[in-house]
């Protein structure tokens, strides 16, 4: 089964499969399999809990997407401990929940026809660029989802998109304002600038200043509490990798269950669907059967199955192709009544109207493809993977249960557990509450390591699930409380900080004094730069979206007011890298914007303004709705 899923699930569905494997701890985790218990949340939005599991899944989905675009660069740009990236993902999830709540209250609806068009446009449901009903059914079946569930999800997403569109494209921006906006976007400026770098060399910091800074900022010189841990970990993949599986083991598995390595019988099905929910009322079911009887009567009168399907079937995808669902095996779709009937029919036979999971269906059987036995050579790799996975899964559960029991029974050490499992007790280096790397990459480890049970009582932790198929038990090996570092320890650090502050202050004073001299005409721009050994950099003309100029420099150039078109304008600013920038704005070229902008240009301008309105709406929703963050669980 696993191999069939792996072969059939492709594209956007491939990465979903791992969370849909039907074993208890694949859904809930090994710890819950043994002990149960609540799961931590990262946020609550209007009563809806965003769980840590849901957040982690979304986080990994985003990482995979970025890696597909950026390759290995994604690991450098968005590291596992990148808190800003985590915050952006959480903000996105919160925004989606807020929008869904607003969409539901606003009553947005999406027609069936629109849903069908959207689904037909998804490449993963197409063959040779054309929607294929069998591929669609197979893709959903591989996720154990039915079309009704999937269509509901698409409906919600499209309603949310409609709501966004209603805000973005209804935002009002008068024509003259659009032209002004376009003119500003196209405006070009020319300027020169130089920077005065802070010079730390030669600056002396007094002992009194160091002492004063130390006493006034003692909290900055306190080391965080830290622990050293010892732990036992069990990884299912490591168990699988270390298994010794012989050629005879593989051959025995093949001979014991040859039917498992036989291709499935496939049957070509056509159907006519009168769609119902599984909890439909008796009246709705009766009406559907009456409609189905009309189809049965038309078929009995000699009308073709494809013609009736095209006219009456609620499954518009297959209806456009004579009701054809393609070749199906017994496990391809989750619709038991349909499948049982299909595999009991004779070629060419048409069924009566049946009450199925999707509603009321009429089935016609076409081609039957008989099963073929696969050779041992064809499936030996598959058998090896399956045996490893099955054996490792069983062994993992057994070892995890043993570890949980022994680490609880002998709570003051891990030696008994290690001996019983023939595993090593590993140790960490010093860890703090915000450490990263190794076990510290897991927030759960950092939280439990400093918990009362583990830290104060010095007993083993509970069994902790870090990832699917990865559990640990930890205990504190050593602990250091928060301590205030001595002045001698941090003296060099303080001296460097104060020297930098004095150097920046000096650079600002020199810069402001120089700027006043330039503005008054006492000295020339070039003379001041030369006197400071600063390089003048000439820029222009450039637009405000230029990427050839440092962002802070470009921003200064475009926020500087330029009233006199004959005289340069001088300005100064302290930059983010603590330099003082002096700029000479030489010219501003106003763009000539034609009142007859193209449609795409108007849409672009409207989009800029609309997105600003949308951001304001989301911010308003966040302020009005109840949103609770649990940042410690990120």
For the residues 577-584, what does the mean pLDDT come to?
Answer: 93
Of 382, 411, 556, the C-alpha closest to 474 is 411
Per-residue pLDDT, 73: 62
Mean predicted confidence (pLDDT) in 375-403: 90
470 touches 236 (CB < 8 A): yes
Structure token digits, residue 467: 């990832």
Q: What share of the chain has pLDDT > 90, as a percent?
A: 42
Contact indicator for 359, 273 with CB cutoff of 8 Å: yes
Q: How confident is the model at residue 5 (pLDDT cuts 50, 70, 90)?
A: very low
- What's residue 141's pLDDT? 66
Give CA–CA dist 333/139, Å, rounded. 9
**Which pLDDT value is given to residue 143?**
60
**Residue 208 above 50 pLDDT?**
yes
- Choose the weakest-confidence range: 10-24, 57-71, 101-115, 133-147: 10-24
Check whether 316 has a pLDDT greater than 90: no
Is the separation of the CB atoms in 178 and 563 below 8 Å? no
Give the range with max mean pLDDT: 260-269, 305-314, 427-436.
305-314
Residue 342 has pLDDT above 60, yes or no: yes
Average the pLDDT over each of 69-73, 553-557, 569-573, 599-603 and give the range with the smallest value: 69-73
**How is residue 267 annotated by DSSP?**
E
Of 564, 570, 483, residue with least CA distance to 521: 570
Across 492-515, average pLDDT: 94
Mean pLDDT of 456-477: 92
354: left (phi over 0), alpha (psi -120 to 50) or beta: beta
Q: Indicate the helix (H) or strand (E) that contains 485.
A: none
Categorize the per-residue pLDDT at 564 as very low, low, confident or very high, splitting at 50, 70 and 90. low
Give yes or no for residue 598 having a pLDDT over 70: no
223-237+394-484: which CATH architecture?
Roll (3.10)
Q: What is the 3-state secondary structure of 201-261? A: CCCCCCHHHHHHHHHHCHHHHEECCEEEEEEEEEEHHHHHHHCCCCHHHHHHHHHHCHHHH
Burial class (CB in 10 A: 0-12, 13-18, 19+), 554: buried
* Burial readout 235-270 (b: 16 or more C-beta within 10 A, e: otherwise): bbeebbeeeeeeeeebeebbeeeeeebeebebbbbb
Question: Looking at domain 255-369, which of 3.90.1310.10, 3.40.190.10, 3.40.50.300, 3.10.50.40 is its CATH number?
Answer: 3.10.50.40
Q: Tens digit of pLDDT for each residue in 31-43? A: 333 333 445 788 8
Residue 282 neighbours by CB distance under 10 Å: 7
Structure token digits, residue 331: 């496990």
Residue of higher predicted confidence among 566 and 202: 202
At 574, which helix (H) or strand (E)?
strand 569-574
Q: Is the pLDDT of residue 77 over 70?
A: no
Each residue of 353-362: pLDDT tens digit? 999 999 999 9
Q: Which residues pair with 369 in a beta bridge?
A: 266
* pLDDT for the residue 222: 80
Is residue 25's pLDDT more than 70? no
- Residue 631 confidence (pLDDT): 76
Phi-psi region of 124 (alpha: psi -120 to 50; beta: other; left: phi over 0): alpha
User: pTM, whole model, 2 decimals?
Assistant: 0.46
User: How much is the pLDDT for 16?
Assistant: 31
What digits encode the pLDDT tens for the residues 96-123?
888 888 887 877 777 777 887 888 888 8
Res 345: pLDDT: 95
**Per-residue pLDDT, 124:** 79
> What is the residue whose two structure tokens read 């014991």?
256
For 18, left (φ over 0), alpha (ψ -120 to 50), or beta?
alpha
CB-CB contact of 115 with 156 (8 Å) = no
Helices (H), 524-598: 525-531, 551-559
| Structure confidence by residue, pLDDT tens digits, 245-291 | 899 999 998 888 888 888 888 999 999 999 998 888 999 999 999 99
Given this model, what pLDDT does residue 309 score? 94
pLDDT band at 76 (very low <50, low <70, confident <90, very high): low
SS (H, E, C) 131-191: ECHHHHHHHHHHCCCCHHHHHHHHHHHHHHHHHHHHHHCCCCCCHHHHHHHHHHHHCEEEE
CATH 3.10.50.40 residue spans of the chain: 255-369
Q: Is the pLDDT of residue 509 over 90?
A: yes
């Amino acid at each position: 089964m696993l191999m069939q899923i792996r072969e059939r699930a492709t594209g956007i569905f491939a990465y979903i499969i791992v969370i849909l494997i039907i074993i208890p701890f694949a859904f809930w985790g090994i710890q819950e399999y043994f002990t149960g218990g609540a799961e931590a949340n990262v946020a609550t939005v209007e009563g809806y809990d965003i769980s840590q599991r849901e957040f982690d899944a979304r986080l990994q989905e985003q990482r995979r997407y970025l890696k597909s675009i950026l390759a290995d660069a994604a690991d450098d740009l968005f590291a596992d401990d990148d808190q800003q990236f985590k915050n952006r993902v959480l903000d996105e999830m919160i925004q989606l929940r807020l929008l869904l709540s607003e969409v539901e209250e606003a009553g947005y609806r999406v027609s069936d026809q629109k849903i069908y068009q959207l689904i037909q446009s998804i490449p993963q449901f197409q063959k040779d660029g054309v929607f294929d009903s069998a591929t669609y059914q197979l893709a959903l079946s591989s996720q154990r989802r039915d079309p009704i569930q999937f269509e509901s999800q698409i409906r919600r997403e499209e309603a949310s998109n409609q709501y966004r569109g209603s805000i973005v494209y209804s935002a009002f921006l008068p024509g003259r304002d659009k032209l002004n906006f376009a003119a500003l976007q196209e405006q070009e400026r020319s300027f020169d600038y130089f920077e005065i770098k802070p010079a730390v060399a030669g600056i002396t910091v007094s002992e009194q200043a160091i002492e004063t800074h130390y006493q006034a900022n003692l909290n900055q010189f306190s080391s965080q509490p830290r622990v050293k841990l010892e732990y036992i970990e069990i990884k299912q993949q490591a168990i699988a990798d270390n298994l010794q599986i012989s050629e005879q083991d593989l051959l025995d598995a093949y001979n014991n269950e040859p039917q498992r390595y036989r291709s499935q019988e496939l049957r070509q099905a056509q159907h006519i669907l009168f769609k119902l929910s599984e909890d439909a009322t008796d009246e709705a079911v009766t009406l559907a059967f009456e409609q189905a009887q009309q189809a049965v009567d038309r078929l009995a009168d000699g009308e073709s199955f494809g013609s009736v399907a095209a006219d009456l079937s609620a499954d518009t995808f297959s209806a456009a192709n004579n009701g054809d669902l393609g070749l199906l095996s017994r496990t391809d779709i989750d619709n038991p009544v349909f499948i049982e009937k299909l595999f009991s029919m004779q070629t060419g036979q048409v069924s009566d109207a049946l009450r199925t999971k999707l509603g009321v269906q009429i089935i016609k059987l076409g081609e039957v493809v008989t099963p073929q036995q696969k050779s041992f050579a064809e499936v030996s790799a598959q058998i090896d993977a399956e045996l490893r996975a099955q054996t490792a899964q069983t062994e993992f559960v057994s070892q995890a249960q043993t570890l949980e029991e022994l680490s609880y029974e002998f709570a003051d050490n891990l030696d008994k557990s290690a001996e019983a499992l023939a595993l090593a007790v590993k140790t960490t280096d010093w860890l703090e509450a915000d450490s990263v790397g190794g076990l510290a990459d897991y927030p759960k480890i950092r939280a439990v390591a400093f918990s009362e049970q583990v830290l104060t009582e010095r007993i083993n932790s509970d069994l902790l699930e870090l990832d699917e198929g990865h559990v640990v038990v930890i205990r504190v090996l050593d602990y250091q409380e928060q301590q205030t570092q001595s002045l001698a320890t941090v003296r060099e650090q303080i001296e460097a900080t104060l020297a930098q502050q004095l150097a920046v202050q000096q650079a600002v004073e020199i810069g402001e004094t120089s700027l006043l001299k330039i503005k008054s005409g006492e000295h020339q721009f070039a003379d001041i730069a030369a006197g400071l050994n600063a390089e003048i950099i000439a820029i222009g003309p450039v637009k405000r979206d230029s990427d050839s100029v440092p962002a802070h420099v470009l921003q200064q150039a475009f926020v500087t007011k330029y009233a006199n078109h004959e005289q340069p304008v001088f300005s100064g600013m302290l930059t983010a890298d603590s330099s003082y920038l002096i700029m000479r704005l030489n010219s501003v070229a106003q763009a000539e914007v034609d009142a007859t902008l193209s449609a795409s240009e108007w849409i672009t301008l409207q989009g800029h303004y609309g997105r600003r309105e949308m951001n304001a709406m989301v911010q308003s929703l966040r302020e009005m709705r109840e949103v609770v963050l649990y940042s410690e669980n990120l």
